């Protein structure tokens, strides 16, 4: 890791009330002092203080007379190592938030000894300096990118160390058994492994259960972080586009009484009950000779195949026909919700009619026109995907593919330990697989990762973080 002092703008590049230029490194205070004018030099103030003054641009005239141009009136926060985010001396210059003035301050900082920070370099230094593990560092960018309540709560929980603590607890159990076996093999006269396989098996089974719970949580974690891939299907004029408009809170789709109005795929991200639904409204599914509409129908079927959730909108004022039968057959083995729409008028289809076709799919009566039943839909989606209320106090949710893959590798290694015990293999075989599991879990916390992976992870961060 490069050791020079780095600097970047840490607030959004738009006109705002305040803009922050962050400096971190051994010479952070010295660099800031070169452009700061206040009652005291920054090197003389106490750590973790806010200091009022001015940022000035010093110039030397041809006559060797010093002149200064005041750039901005500022508040400068000085924080000394190691009690900082990066673990290094850190200075944050809080100036007025005009884009020009913030850029001007950064230019002065760079001109006076700092180097431009790379994307994510402040957080990268925090990780490399032991201020956080890799799971917490990844949670930083997840907090920034959070798009719903649950995603934010999950990311903050990980930032506070929920994943780190759980993984470290499992690694401690693994390394304990590894150390015992290695010690016993090195000193068999004083330490016996007779009967130890039973003890190890019991512990390995507990670890496997913990790993499986974490892996299982990744499904909820993905939904929390990325949203639910949702496809709305139904016959033409069933009210699919009306439903999309209600969920979106604005007219996203054209609604008419003419069948086949929606021919292409419409996509919209919708917040529903604290979750994100990545909704796709598709063309009405029916037999058609219209080439363009047929392409839309084919796309609807294609999207439904890979959806996390299918919302089947039924026009309850019209009898079921062969098009409905086709849709019902398609959704029978998928995670789906049936919405009996148009409950505000006389209906001929009831929940019992649908249950005769598919008894395992929840059915909700709604009126997209009058916006009735939407709360029931929201509650059902949360029940299906979050399995009730989510608590971030005692439950750890894995929301990172890299972390999930590491857990899967650790799980396979622990299963090999069980197989070795069952096959009465020598104890050093146990040790090999235990260490493989230990190393795999180290990828999550950053104890076993190489520089290339670290650089790749932090390159995805925004500038100044």
Cα distance between residue 83 and residue 93, in whole Å: 18
CATH of domain 161-222+396-460: 1.20.120.430
Q: Is the N-terminal amide bond of 82 cis, ω within 30° of 0?
A: yes
**Maximum distance among all alpha carbons in the chain?**
96
As annotated, the binding site for GTP includes 237-242, 256-262, 281-284
Extract the tokens encoding 168: 């470290």
Pick the CATH number of 226-385 from 3.40.50.300, 3.40.50.261, 3.40.50.880, 1.10.260.40: 3.40.50.300
Tell me the β-bridge partners of 72.
Answer: 55
Secondary structure (DSSP) of 1-33: ---S-EEEE-S-SS-EEEEEEEEESTTHHHHHH
Residue that is written with structure tokens 């995907």 in the block: 385
What confidence tier does 296 reach under pLDDT thresholds 50, 70, 90? low
This prediction's pTM: 0.73
- Asked if 28 contacts 104 with a C-beta cutoff of 8 angstroms, the reply is no
Cα distance between residue 46 and residue 16, in whole Å: 29
As annotated, the binding site for K(+) includes 237, 256, 258, 261
104-108, 177-181, 200-204, 303-307 — which is least confidently predicted? 303-307
Mean pLDDT of 303-316: 84
Report how far apart, in Å, the C-alpha atoms of 131 and of each of 47, 122, 355, 424 are. 18, 11, 56, 43
Extract the tokens encoding 47: 């750590």
**Whether the predicted pLDDT of 219 surpasses 50:** yes
As annotated, the binding site for (6S)-5-formyl-5,6,7,8-tetrahydrofolate includes 22, 92, 131, 465
As annotated, the binding site includes 22, 92, 131, 237-242, 256-262, 281-284, 465
> pLDDT tens digit string along 96-122?
988 899 999 999 999 999 999 999 999
Residue that is written with structure tokens 């054209």 in the block: 254
**Architecture of the CATH domain 6-117:** 2-Layer Sandwich (3.30)
Mean pLDDT of 178-190: 81
As annotated, the binding site for Mg(2+) includes 241, 262
Please indicate whether residue 98 or residue 93 has the higher confidence score (pLDDT). 93
Extract the tokens encoding 324: 């409905």
Cα distance between residue 349 and residue 327, in whole Å: 16
For strands 115-116 and 228-234, give the pairing: unpaired
């Amino acid at each position: 890791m490069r050791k020079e002092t780095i600097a970047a703008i840490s607030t959004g590049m738009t006109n705002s009330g305040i803009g922050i230029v962050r400096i971190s490194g051994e010479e952070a205070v010295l660099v800031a002092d070169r452009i700061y004018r206040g009652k005291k030099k920054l090197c003389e103030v106490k750590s973790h203080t806010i200091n009022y003054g001015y940022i000035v641009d010093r110039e030397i005239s041809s006559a060797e007379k010093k002149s200064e141009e005041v750039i901005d009136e500022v508040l400068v926060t000085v924080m000394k190592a190691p009690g900082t985010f990066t673990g290094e001396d850190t200075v944050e210059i809080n100036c007025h938030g005009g884009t020009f003035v913030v850029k001007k301050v950064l230019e002065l900082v760079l001109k006076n000894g700092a180097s431009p920070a790379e994307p994510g370099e402040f957080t990268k230094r925090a990780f490399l300096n032991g201020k956080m593990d890799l799971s917490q560092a990844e949670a930083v960018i997840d907090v920034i990118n959070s798009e719903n309540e649950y995603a934010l709560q999950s990311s903050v929980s990980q930032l506070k160390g929920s994943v780190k603590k759980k993984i470290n607890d499992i690694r401690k159990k693994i390394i304990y058994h590894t150390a015992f076996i290695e010690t016993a093999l090195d000193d068999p006269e004083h330490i016996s492994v007779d009967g130890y396989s039973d003890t190890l098996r019991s512990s390995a089974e507990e670890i496997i259960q913990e790993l499986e719970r974490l892996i299982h949580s990744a499904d909820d974690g993905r939904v929390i972080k990325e949203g639910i891939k949702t496809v709305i299907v139904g016959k033409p004029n069933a009210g699919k586009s009306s439903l999309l408009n209600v969920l979106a809170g604005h007219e996203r789709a054209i609604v008419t009484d003419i069948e086949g109005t929606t021919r292409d795929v419409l996509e919209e991200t919708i917040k529903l009950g604290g979750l994100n639904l990545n909704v796709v409204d598709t063309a009405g599914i029916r037999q058609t000779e219209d080439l363009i509409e047929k392409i839309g129908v084919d796309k609807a079927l294609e999207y439904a195949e890979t959806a996390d959730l299918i919302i089947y909108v039924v026009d309850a004022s019209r009898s079921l026909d062969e098009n409905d039968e086709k849709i019902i057959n398609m959704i029978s083995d998928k995670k789906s919700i049936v919405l009996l729409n148009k409950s505000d008028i006389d209906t001929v289809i009831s929940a019992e009619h649908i249950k005769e076709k598919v008894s395992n799919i929840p059915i909700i009566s709604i009126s997209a026109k009058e916006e009735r039943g939407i709360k029931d839909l929201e509650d059902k989606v949360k029940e299906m995907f979050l399995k009730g209320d989510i608590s971030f106090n005692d439950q750890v949710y894995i929301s990172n593919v890299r972390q999930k893959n590491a857990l899967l590798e650790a799980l396979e290694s622990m299963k090999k330990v069980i197989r070795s015990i069952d096959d009465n293999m020598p104890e050093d075989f146990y040790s090999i697989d235990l260490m493989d599991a230990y190393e795999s879990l180290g990828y999550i916390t950053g104890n076993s990762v190489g520089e290339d992976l670290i650089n790749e992870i932090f390159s995805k961060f925004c500038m100044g973080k």
